[in-house]
A and B are shown apart, each in its own frame.
Chain A
Amino acid sequence: MAGTETLAAKRFAPAGLLRWRRPLGLAAAAGMAALAVTALLLVAPDAVQGPPQRIFYIHVPSAWVGFLALAVVFVASVRYLVTGDPRHDDLASASAGLGVLFTTGVLLTGPLWARPVWGAYWVWDPRLTSFFVLWLVYLSYLALRRQVTDPVRRARYSAVLGVLGFLDVPIVYMSVNWWRGMHPEQVVITADGPRMPAAMLATLLLGLAAFTLFYLYLLAIRLGLARARRLAWATDATAADMEGTR
């Protein structure tokens, strides 16, 4: 395990995000406000689905950012297992919490679209089922972190889960192609290009940008908190060691 002085000297790229925290917060707020106005008032309604189709503009960005957050957990977990640098564990734990947040957003908004369009809040469709499993895996990741008190073991166990859990992400993404189900197929990334009017696509892209900024803003806050907690634990552990040697 690298010592504190070595870590301070070694560059940790995600920490650069922290300096952009305030501009990120402002940009995310502006993006969310613009998205709300565009998605609810400006873009034309869908001719078939009517008003519930507008849920798409927050449902898909929530899913995108959820996947992004879990991809960050995956990369940070791999890097922790390779280097043992606790800052990668800070990043993984910060992003995992956000992954659960945004996937929860997907699970809240999806059924509110499905009820008027499908006639049911939930069906055990391949996409919905695999996504629900993904949510449970990362919920268990957070539960695991609460249960293990030793920081090194906690980081190692959760890094393994962070790597294995990510295997479900491509399954979720491809589930609409691999199996027949009720969930719509991809409409943006297809062999023939986006299958939607330009105004709807622009609104979706605005949503993706706003949610990504919001994710980065929350990640900056969580990274600061994770680091502060780790340093506080290290300080307490050192004080306890000194008490024990007296």
Chain B
Amino acid sequence: MNGYGYLGAAYLAAALLYGGYLLVLRRSERAANLPPRRAASGTGDGRLR
């Protein structure tokens, strides 16, 4: 593998790791049945209970 191969592999690995984690996190959020707005606002006024 030449230098471009290692470069591509590193960026691909990072994209899969971080992108995959984001997808899993969003799926967990849906599974927990949290509407994003309510989950984000906590008590509704920006405070966490």
Contact = CB atoms under 8 A, between A and B. Distances in A.
A112 B49 contact: no
Contact of B46 (A19, A36, A116): A19
A238 B46 CA distance: 25
Interface string A213-246: 0100010111111011101000000000000000
B42 to A, nearest CB: 5
Contact of B11 (A18, A19, A58, A104): A58
Given A15-B47, A52-B3, A231-B49, A104 B17 contact: yes
B27 to A, nearest CB: 11
Interface in B1-49: 2-4, 6-7, 9-11, 13-14, 17-18, 21-22, 25-26, 28-29, 32, 34, 36, 39-43, 46-49
For the side of the interface on A, what is the size category? 35 or more
Nearest to B17: A105
Interface of A: 4, 7-8, 11-12, 14-16, 18-19, 21-22, 36, 40, 49-52, 54-55, 58-59, 62, 87, 90, 101, 104-105, 108-109, 112-113, 115-116, 214, 218, 220-225, 227-229, 231
Interface of B: 2-4, 6-7, 9-11, 13-14, 17-18, 21-22, 25-26, 28-29, 32, 34, 36, 39-43, 46-49
6 contacts: A7-B48, A55-B7, A104-B17, A112-B13, A113-B6, A225-B39
